[in-house]
Homo-oligomer: A and B are copies of this chain.
Amino acid sequence: MASAVAGPEIERLIQLLARLPGLGPRSARRAALHLIKKREALMTPLSSALQVAIGKIQVCKTCGNIDTQNPCTVCTDPRRDQSIIVVVADVADLWALERANASNGLYHVLGATLSPLDGVGPQDLTIDALVKRAHEPQVGEIILALNATVDGQTTAHYITDLLQEANVRVTRLAHGVPVGGELDYLDEGTLSAAMRQRTLF
């Protein structure tokens, strides 16, 4: 029925928008309508921005970041601390850490976390490249910034084992109370970790 209302071209646009994370079929329809109403101000610019990005996007050969240059902006930034490599599962995590201004080091994107149940093994991750980078003389610390999930921690242990022979310090993110978080909403695991890793006030 709906396809009879708006024409196949608009329905196609709605279907594609619905495949974006965060947009369901209903909000995709709303988004499409919003785009159509702002044809000059939003729809045309978005179309060109997509075109430009499609032509320019590259994956950084060094760290796996997504950027419009290769090596990426982070890897080529001379102000970055070349002795630190922050290991993340996904580019989204890299961007999140950058937004938080959390580190001045370089990154290494694994592409995923180990997940035997989903058939994701070490060969599916960029672990070999990481081990190679860890052996470079200027590297002194590998920070494992992986999710605090079973898969994330399995991956962290696996990498730590592989890095035994490299002359680097392997660290991981602290567990604890999220900033702004309320204690009685936190799970027991987080609370006891926060207690164990308490710091001087």
**Chain A contacts to B: CB under 8 angstroms:** 1-2, 4-10, 12-13, 16-17, 19-23, 27, 29-31, 33-36, 39, 42-47, 49-54, 56-57, 65-69, 72-74, 77, 91-92, 94-95, 98-99, 101
Contacts and interface: CB of A to CB of B under 8 A. Distances in A.
Contacts of A43: 50, 53-54
B22 A31 contact: yes
B34 A30 contact: no
A52 B5 contact: no
Nearest to A52: B9
A108 to B, nearest CB: 15
A94 B30 contact: no
A8 B68 CA distance: 8
Nearest to A30: B21
A94 B10 CA distance: 15
Contact of A5 (B7, B46, B73): B73
Nearest to A74: B5
Nearest 10 interchain pairs by C-beta = A7-B68, A22-B27, A47-B50, A20-B31, A5-B98, A13-B49, A16-B46, A7-B67, A13-B53, A9-B53
